[in-house]
Amino acid sequence: MRTLVIASQKGGVGKTTLAGHLGVEAERRGAGPVALIDTDPQGSLAAWWNVRSAETPAFAQVAIANLVDHLAALEDAGIKLAIIDTPPAVTDTIRAVLAVADLVLIPTRPSPHDLRAVGSTVELVESANKRMVFVLNGAAVRARITGDAAVALSQHGTVAPVTIFQRTDFAQSMIDGRVCQELDQASRSSAEIGKLWDYVATHLRKGAKHG
């Protein structure tokens, strides 16, 4: 089993939306069974999953104090990929989750404020000695700052070659438990999520070779 952690000390960067979309995409691509885990006290990922009619991906309730044991139990049950959504700013929780990560995905919105806030997340990931990838999320189409943000992030680490743009179908996709791929498989947002999953999956496989 591989564990993908989606983390950022900054709130509002789209961690939960990406967790749901990547979980569904992983199942669609045959990388499941997938278990989603929500460690954010706000419970947004759990709330989305509860209104979802599809049976996959699965959702797993875990206690942070027993996270390692819970993940071992999921692996024993046949889960191939665990995707963990984390809270903003709750440093102790983030540290505990990072400890079990095979790969950390750090969503960042292309804004000066978001870019300034990246450093604290990077420090946590580096102190945990984990591999990380940035993904620009919620970018405005044809905005110059998107390219500038990618350059700025590349000074901290690897930036995914896929940008998730802020489109209506992506923004509205979590309302009824479905994701954009299930609403319109031919949409640009669906294509972006597919490409992002391809990239993330490659990095997870690299981790498996080194593990």
Q: Which domains does the chain have, with CATH numbers?
A: 2-206 (3.40.50.300)
HSE-up (13 A, CA, CB side) for residue 13: 29
Q: How far apart are CA 63 and CA 51, in angstroms?
A: 22
The per-residue pLDDT for 173 is: 75
The per-residue pLDDT for 208 is: 59
The per-residue pLDDT for 118 is: 93
The per-residue pLDDT for 36 is: 98
CA nearest to 144, candidates 167, 111, 106, 107:
111
The per-residue pLDDT for 207 is: 64
Q: Is the Cα torsion angle 37, 43, 44, 50 positive or negative in sign?
A: positive
- Which residues of the chain fall below pLDDT 70? 207-211
Crossing angle for the helix pair 112-127 and 144-154, to the nearest 10 degrees: 20
